[in-house]
A and B are shown apart, each in its own frame.
Chain A
Amino acid sequence: MSPARRATIEFLLDNLVWLMLIVVLAVFSATIPNYFQFGIFANIFEQSTFVGVMAIGLAIVIIAGNLDLSVESTAALSAMVTGMLFASSGVGMGISFSPAWLMPVVSLLIALAVGGIIGFLNGFFVIRVGMSAFIVTLASFIWVRGLVVAISGGRSAQNLAPSIRIIGMEDILGVPLLAWISVLCFAIFAFVMAKTTFGRYITLVGGNKDATFRAGINSDRILWSSFIVAGVLAGLAGWLLAIRTSGATANLGVGMLFNAFAAVVIGGVSLKGGIGKLPGVYAGVLLLYSIHTAINLMGLPAHFTQMILGGLVLAAVLLDTFKLRLREKLL
């Protein structure tokens, strides 16, 4: 087989999720009444924000050859901390200061720091102590959620300060600002992964950690950073969630982990590590919420979404295996 032909096939395989997204959107638009509307697409965009931002971090950790199950609880903790500090009802303390524009900035920094700390701890146990990432982050998934319930007493914080909420109400070109924030995050991290040494090392460490160590790369530091990045992004997702819901509840974001995971796998990130691109992950998130929206519009019960998503994840993993085999044949 000629290299050009092989390159074409590889390109198609690598970008299959975009093809799927286009086909799904076309089919839904043609068959579901009221699907093909700007408002619907803007809504899909906005819904994709929270899981999307979270999925970036998850994808980076998986590409580096690990796993982070804690992102959902981390986001919930960041949202709760934001809510408790800056919301005025429920468990909210209603802290407020001027100038008003400083409030979103300070609340964002706090949310990112909360996420970063959880990521740092995950990294510590995986890299320094040498425990399995699955166990460490599963434990975090549980204790961080426990912490959310503990600090809030199981109650919720409502009425987030208007100066922060404003971010959830603005839109640009008819698309909510929140959606643009996730697009921006994807653009930034897609660049980081494809064009900077940090992104290159994440991929190389995920492919062969020993080789990177021998090549003089500080592979432990790269791995640790990946956990911190995932934590910070989960913190951002939590902050956005708090803005969207004008506060936080103790069970905020439950189920997001599965969605993020599904998007990452459907987006072409291999659980083996070392393989995957962030634009594909974004397509995966959009695909997920296009299906969610279609099911809502058709008035089907929500559990249909779960069945379809479960099926999609299975299909995506099968596809990953199939791609490997096809590649071997292409040799």
Chain B
Amino acid sequence: MTDGEPLLKLERIKKHFGAIEALRGVDMTVSRGEVVALLGDNGAGKSTLVKIIAGTYPPSSGRLMFEGEERYFASPKEAKAAGIETVYQDLSLCTNADVVANFFMGREITKRYLGIPVLQEREMEKVVAEAMRNAGTKIPSLRVNVENLSGGQRQAIELNRFVHWGGKLVVLDEPFAALGVEQTRRGLEMIRRVAAGGIGVIVITHIMEQAFQVADRLVVIRQGAVAGDLKREETTPEKVIDLITGGTLSDAGTDGDGGNSDPAYQREKTRL
């Protein structure tokens, strides 16, 4: 797994939306089999970075090296083809379709009759049932539309989806926000298992405890730039929180909230 060169290498990635400079030169790496936790306050630029890696939009400048080659992903399709799987912060499910249709979205099993690709529903359902069973996810029926499922069940579908499809690098943007304690524990285990299989993982979380539980390395983003890149063994939650807030926590009277790990509170802020 260790052939020296990182799986993903970002060099001076910048992104601006009009006058807003969301990212101002981010450098980071992820190696095969490594779990990197990406931390940062709301609005730090984490989701923007995720979307650039996923091919949703291009960076304004900077280089993206994947498997040692400079790559430019014009669409999520190209990033996927290269082996990058992404679970977005705002889920990517079609609630008007059933669990099976969502699980296979874009990669349906088909059989050609007279050149026409015909969906193989039974085959697909079997695969999904198997994947759900392996992950211990309970969903009343795989033929129920996703709109009838809870937030936790939806998130579980997305997580199972990426585990099933695999790839070389997975990027998870706050994947546990809607999950319960037990499901989160399973999710963290799943990440370790995926990484043990040689896949690189980037996971964004607001919860320090989760980051320290699952990550090999922690990268802190503050105001669109990397504020710290630390091995887990060589740092502490307190240090990381200081980096997230720019050390303001030790100063009096600032409004840093990096230490507030209540996901509901964080989500509310994100919406603003």
B80 sits at the interface (CB 8 A)? yes
Bound form: Cα–Cα A216–B141 in Å: 26
- A218 nearest in chain B by CB position: B77
Residues from chain A with Cβ under 8 Å of B80 in the complex? 216
B36 sits at the interface (CB 8 A)? no
Q: Which of B54, B92, B144 has the most CB of A within 10 A?
A: B92
Chain A interface residues (CB < 8 Å from chain B): 3, 7, 195-197, 200, 203-204, 206-208, 210-218, 274-275, 327, 330-331
Give the shortest distance, in Å, between A198 (CB) and chain B (any CB): 8
B96 touches A206 (CB 8 A): yes
Bound form: Cα–Cα A206–B94 in Å: 9
B108 touches A215 (CB 8 A): no
B93 touches A211 (CB 8 A): yes
B140 sits at the interface (CB 8 A)? yes
Told that A211-B91, A215-B76 touch, could you supply 8 new A-B pairs with CB distance under 8 A?
A195-B119, A204-B96, A204-B105, A206-B96, A210-B92, A213-B75, A215-B106, A216-B107
A204 touches B54 (CB 8 A): no
Give the shortest distance, in Å, between B193 (CB) and chain A (any CB): 23
Residues from chain B with Cβ under 8 Å of A215 in the complex? 76, 92, 105-107
Residues from chain B with Cβ under 8 Å of A195 in the complex? 118-119
- A211 nearest in chain B by CB position: B92
Bound form: Cα–Cα A330–B149 in Å: 11
B95 sits at the interface (CB 8 A)? yes
Q: Which of B54, B96, B110 has the most CB of A within 10 A?
A: B96
A208 touches B140 (CB 8 A): no
B92 touches A208 (CB 8 A): yes
Residues from chain B with Cβ under 8 Å of A218 in the complex? 77
Question: Which of A204, A216, A275 is B76 in contact with, Cβ under 8 Å?
Answer: A216
B148 touches A203 (CB 8 A): no
Residues from chain A with Cβ under 8 Å of B106 in the complex? 212, 215-217
B210 sits at the interface (CB 8 A)? no
Residues from chain B with Cβ under 8 Å of A213 in the complex? 56, 75-76
B119 touches A197 (CB 8 A): yes
Interface mask (B145-165 → A, CB under 8 Å = 1, otherwise 0): 001100000000000000000
Give the shortest distance, in Å, between A15 (CB) and chain B (any CB): 16
Bound form: Cα–Cα A119–B148 in Å: 35
A197 touches B96 (CB 8 A): no
Bound form: Cα–Cα A195–B111 in Å: 11
A214 touches B101 (CB 8 A): no
Give the shortest distance, in Å, between A331 (CB) and chain B (any CB): 6
- B118 nearest in chain A by CB position: A195
Bound form: Cα–Cα A192–B28 in Å: 46
7 sample A-B contacts, Cβ–Cβ < 8 Å, listed by A number = A204-B94, A214-B88, A215-B105, A215-B106, A216-B80, A274-B94, A275-B96
Given A212-B106, A217-B106, CB of A203 within 8 Å of CB of B97: yes
Bound form: Cα–Cα A244–B201 in Å: 64
Residues from chain A with Cβ under 8 Å of B92 in the complex? 208, 210-211, 214-215
